[in-house]
Amino acid sequence: MVSGGSSSHVSVKSSLNDDIELQNVTPSSVDVVHSGDVAKADATLNIKKNGKVVKKQQKDMKKNQQFNASFAEEGVYNITADIKGQTKDGKPFERTIVKSIYVDAKGKIFQ
For the chain, which residues make up each domain, given as ranges? 16-110
Contacts 24+ apart (CB under 8 A), 38-42: 38/85, 38/86, 38/87, 38/88, 39/85, 39/86, 39/87, 39/88, 39/90, 40/85, 40/86, 41/83, 41/84, 41/85, 41/86, 42/83, 42/84, 42/85
Residue-wise pLDDT tens digits, 27-67: 999 988 877 788 888 889 999 998 899 988 888 877 778 88
pTM for the predicted model, two decimal places: 0.79
DSSP H/E element including 17 = helix 16-19
Residue-wise pLDDT tens digits, 71-92: 989 999 999 999 998 988 999 9
More confident residue, 14 or 63: 63
List the CATH code of the domain at 16-110: 2.60.40.10
The pLDDT assigned to 17 comes to: 62
The pLDDT assigned to 77 comes to: 95
